[in-house]
Amino acid sequence: DAGITQSPRHKVTETGTPVTLRCHQTENHRYMYWYRQDPGHGLRLIHYSYGVKDTDKGEVSDGYSVSRSKTEDFLLTLESATSSQTSVYFCAISGPTGAAYSGANVLTFGAGSRLTVL
């Protein structure tokens, strides 16, 4: 479905433990993103990547790190999970930019990963 998968889909962990979420795409898209979805806040960008080993921070990056060692995989790591990081995490991908491309700037989302930190 849309060539983007997230794992795990559900995870319960304890405060202070490390957690890694994986996003895998088969579309060969350049851009990949991690968002978190919280009631009342909508979706907020955590980190994004514009190529292999090229990443940058979003608006809520504190407490999170990312890595992209190959085009198809984008990992989100919580080094020491806190209860405030309980959320639904969405990965998204987007292809080439530019008005000439009909799919330019359109994000395709994964199914989401629900993380609960106790």
Partner 1 sequence: AQRVTQPEKLLSVFKGAPVELKCNYSYSGSPELFWYVQYSRQRLQLLLRHISRESIKGFTADLNKGETSFHLKKPFAQEEDSAMYYCALRRNAGNMLTFGGGTRLMVKP
Stretch that binds partner 1, among 12-20, 68-76, 78-86, 92-100 (CB under 8 A): 92-100
Which letter, b or e, does each residue of 15-42 get, where b requires 16 or more Cβ atoms within 10 Å of its Cβ? eeeebebebbbeeebbbbbbbbeeeeee
Q: Report the alpha-carbon angle 100-103-107, nearest 5.
A: 140
Residue 100 sits in the site that holds partner 1 (CB under 8 A) = no
Per CB under 8 A, the list member of 42, 62, 70, 100 interacting with partner 1 is 42
Q: Under rule CB under 8 A, how many of the chain's residues touch partner 1?
A: 26
* Binding residues for partner 1 (CB under 8 A): 1-2, 31, 33, 35, 40-45, 48, 50, 58-59, 90, 94, 97, 99, 105-107, 109-112
